[in-house]
Structure 1
Amino acid sequence: MTTTFIAFDRLGAAELDAWHTLRAKNPLLDSPYFHPGFAAAVHASGPPVTVAVHRDARGEVTALLAGHRDGTLLRPVGWPGADFQGPVLAPGTTFDPRLLLTGGVRAFPFDHLLDGLADAEPWVLSRRPSPFLDVTGGLDGYLGRASKSGKDNMGQARRRAAKAARELGEIRFAADVVDAAALARVVELKRAQYRATGAADYFAEPGRAELLTRLMGTRDPDFAGVLSTLHAGPTLLAAHFGMRSGGVLHWWFPVYDPAFGRLAPGWMLLRELVSAAPALGLTRIDLGRGDDEYKRRAKTGECQVAQGLVTRSRVRLLLRRARESALATAKSSAAGPALRGLAHRFRDR
């Protein structure tokens, strides 16, 4: 058995075919983060992507994991904007993550490792929920599965949409548009939100806005960027940019105009997107890890993602454990926003 690192743009047809085949066999990997299209877009617009390719004794590809070399670290592809991470492999097979510690790689840190990789258990330091919406059957189907809070908020969103229409103009929702100006506004509003909350600015790094532009232009039926917008008259109230693969949409960069916060436009946008799910061929919207109140209210279920560090250094693992513990304490502390802001700034370092 061998594990080798190959630059994404040097992968051959055999490796890419194996990627698609292994992913198709494993229903746990239906998130667009595991589609090679995501790695391709990241590689073309940002830090180079390298792929760990694991072959069995017969030379057949049995697992792949895309990431970025950062000195002696191997980070998951798309870090720190990857809400699901892990190897692409067939169900029931194993992959020892220590195989990644080769070719100068001394550690593999992860913060959204898809739960279920038993071989990673010794290096898991914590787990957090990653909520989702089952949107099978559109709005009616969702309401049949939603909590009372979710139903109430969707009802309020309908009434507030009517109010916005009276005050601002006709409500217009576009589920999937290619609109460079609207995408630029998404980035602008998201950066303002980062500043207001003290979170690290994802778009401060060059290439990340370009990544969204590249994904928006990707129109593959099996993988694409999705930009959704909600207007009242000429005013953009809310928008969202995410990715989809098959029947799964990943809720990635939702924004709303704070000037209209009283209308809760984010809920209005989410309601429209749930309603449009059947026409879009969607059955699930992944909201991503986070304890945001709207996620707790809206979700119909959740999975778990793990945080940890694969390393042969016990000292390094203990230091990472102490860091995770300190950040968890900061987030839950009664000291409030100051410590939570600190946790946001250091969460992805």
Structure 2
Amino acid sequence: MDISVHRTGELSAADRAAWTALQSAAPVPGAAELGNPFLAPEFALAVGRCRRGVRIAVVREGGEPVAYFPFQRTATGVGRAVGLGVSDAQGVVHRPGFTWDARELLRACGLAVFEYDHLVAGQRPFEAYASGTFASPVIDVDRGYDVYLAGLRERSPKFTRTTLAKERRLGRDVGGVRYVHDERDPAVLRTLMGWKSAQYRRTGRGDRFAHEWITGLAHQLFHTRSGPFAGILSVLYAGRRPVAAHFGLRTGRVLACWFPAYDPAFAKYSPGLVLHLRMAEAAAAEGIGHLDLGRGRKEYKDALKTREIQVSEGWVTRRHPVAVGHRARRAPARALRNAVVARPELFDPADRWLKRWGKIRSK
């Protein structure tokens, strides 16, 4: 097994094509989650234009590429998944049946430790070091939108009936409801970012778009079109006014949901839920297999999901003082956060406190 490590600008067109081909073959059993757009070369390369230290390890057998491992590396050898903090799928993209030794891979990449928080299923050499596994809800539309909607009506009849009624009322009260699945106006993307920043502040969360690299990354991906990969801005309009929007990433069979938000002035119409139903309908028409709603506890995800996939977080470490120090710094905070999120008796009071703090901060 031959492992070479490249800067993002050094990755050849042939390697990018081979990487994409491995993703296209991902629906085979045991590798289905590798088709996620956060594992596409376009995402890693875009992060590399916004952040230092992004590298791509290429694994070859008999001269042929069999795996690609994107990561970020510090000068001291601390490795993180590409886009850690905003990436909802991480791991090694590989051909079916390929396996690797986790520590050998780290050694070849010059890493003392590799940290991940959304490791996709099937990465057994990395999963052995996971500290926790978490649900990531998905909406299956591979059998068509009508089948999905019929299932939603059966599982949650009141929710479905109420949401569709609110869509009709939105049209009557505000103006004709119109959905654009792939909006190309960058001004609408800026509107979405403004809504999302306000939501982060209102709910007491850190504003991701206050970080220049995340804003720059979203703009780059909005303008990226490469084979099956694209940044997709979906917008729900009432009359001529956008009332809800979502920016995410797609590959051939997966639409990864990323940044959804809506105009709070229209909250009584639940425009975010209406938007997600329209997204599911459009995705099904385009041949998408499922929408990945991403890890995290949210009521709307529980209402819309058809099933859950699993993602893991943890550290792969070598015997190295840098690895010991990094894990000692990061592990306590992560363990506390997960304990709070996993227990309603802790999460609900914490969530209410954050929202109160958000209201104070927003004044």
Find the aligned partners of 2:334 and 2:120 in 1 and give their Cα distance.
Answer: 18
Instruction: Give distance in 2, aligned partners of 1:136 and 1:25.
Output: 17
Partners of 1:77 and 1:106 in 2: how far apart? 16
- The one-letter amino acid of 2:119's match is L
Deviation digits for residues 298-347 of structure 1 (CA, Å, limit 9, x no counterpart): 10111100010111258565775544432222222634556458999xxx
Displacement after TM superposition at 1:172 (Å):
1.3
Residue 170 (structure 1) aligns with: 176
Show the counterpart of 1:213. 219
Distance in 1 (CA, whole Å) between partners of 2:156 and 2:257 is 17
Partner of 2:359: none
Deviations 1:266-292 (A, max 9, x none): 111112122223433323111111111
Distance 1:270 1:150, change over 3 A: farther
Distance 2:230 2:17 in 1: 19
Choose from 63, 66, 69 the match for 1:65.
Answer: 69
SS at match of 1:105: coil
Tell me the secondary structure at the aligned position of residue 251 of structure 1: strand
Partner SS for 2:294:
coil
Q: Which residue of 2 aligns with 1:239?
A: 245
Is the 8 Å Cα contact of residues 215 and 225 (structure 1) preserved in structure 2?
yes
Deviations 1:61-115 (A, max 9, x none): 3221112223422111122111000001112110222212445421111000001
1:328 to 338, 343, 363: 338
* Residue 284 (structure 1) aligns with: 290
- Structure 1 stretches lacking a partner, 5+ long: 345-349
Contact 1:218 1:225 in 2 (8 A): yes
| Structure 1 stretch displaced more, 123-132 or 230-239 | 230-239
Deviations 1:221-240 (A, max 9, x none): 41101111111123321100
Cross-structure match for 2:278: 272
> 41, 47, 54: which is aligned to 1:36?
41
The 1:39/1:283 distance shift into structure 2, 3 A limit, reads: same
Contact 1:168–1:235, Cα closer than 8 Å, also in 2? no
Contact 2:255 2:283 in 1 (8 A): no
> 2:70 corresponds to which letter in structure 1?
A
Q: Structure 2: how far apart are the matches of 1:128 and 1:47?
A: 29
Alpha-carbon separation, structure 1, partners of 2:316 and 2:352: 27
Is the alpha carbon distance of 1:198 and 1:284 closer, same or farther for their aligned partners in structure 2, counting shifts above 3 Å? Answer: same
Alpha-carbon shift at residue 146 of structure 1 (Å): 3.3
TM-score (structure 2 length as normaliser): 0.86
CA change 1:136–1:103 in 2 (3 A) is closer
The within-5 A match list for 1:242-321 is: 242-313=248-319, 315=324
Relative to the length of structure 1, the TM-score reads 0.89
Partner SS for 2:295: coil
1:295 deviation in Å? 0.6
- % same residue: 36
Q: Is 1:53 matched up with 2:64?
A: no
Letter in 2 for 1:34: L
Q: Which amino acid aligns with 1:88?
A: V
Distance 1:234 1:23, change over 3 A: closer
Per-residue CA deviations over 1:170-206 (Å, capped at 9, x if unaligned) read 1111111101111001111111111122223222221
Moved more, 278-287 or 294-303: 278-287
Match of 1:186 among 181, 185, 192: 192
User: Partner of 2:3 in structure 1?
Assistant: 3
Q: CA deviation at 1:4?
A: 3.0
Answer whether contact 1:31 1:248 (CA < 8 A) is retained: yes
In structure 2, distance between residues paired with 1:80 and 1:341: 23
Distance 1:181 1:306 in 2: 36
Are the aligned partners of 1:175 and 1:228 in contact in 2 as well (CA < 8 Å)? yes
Distance 1:258 1:196 in 2: 11
Q: 1:138·1:274 contact (CA, 8 Å) conserved in 2?
A: no
Whether the aligned pair in 2 keeps the contact of 1:247 and 1:282 (CA below 8 Å) is yes
Is the partner of 2:205 in helix, strand or coil? coil
Counterpart residue number, 2:163: 157
CA distance in structure 2 between the aligned counterparts of 1:190 and 1:329, rounded to whole angstroms: 26
For residues 215 and 318 of structure 1, the distance between their equivalents in structure 2, rounded to whole angstroms, comes to 34
Secondary structure of the corresponding residue to residue 212 of structure 2: coil
Q: 1:42 Cα shift?
A: 2.2
CA distance in structure 1 between the aligned counterparts of 2:142 and 2:154, rounded to whole angstroms: 18
| C-alpha spacing 1:177/1:151, structure 2 compared with 1 (3 Å) | farther
CA RMSD in angstroms comes to: 2.5
Distance 1:51 1:300 in 2: 34
- How many Å separate the matches in 2 of 1:342 and 1:96? 44
Query: Which residue matches 1:12?
Result: 12
Is contact 1:130-1:304 (8 Å) kept? yes
Tell whether the 8 Å contact from 2:4 to 2:58 is kept in structure 1 after alignment.
yes
2:90 corresponds in structure 1 to 85
The letter of the residue matching 2:93 is V
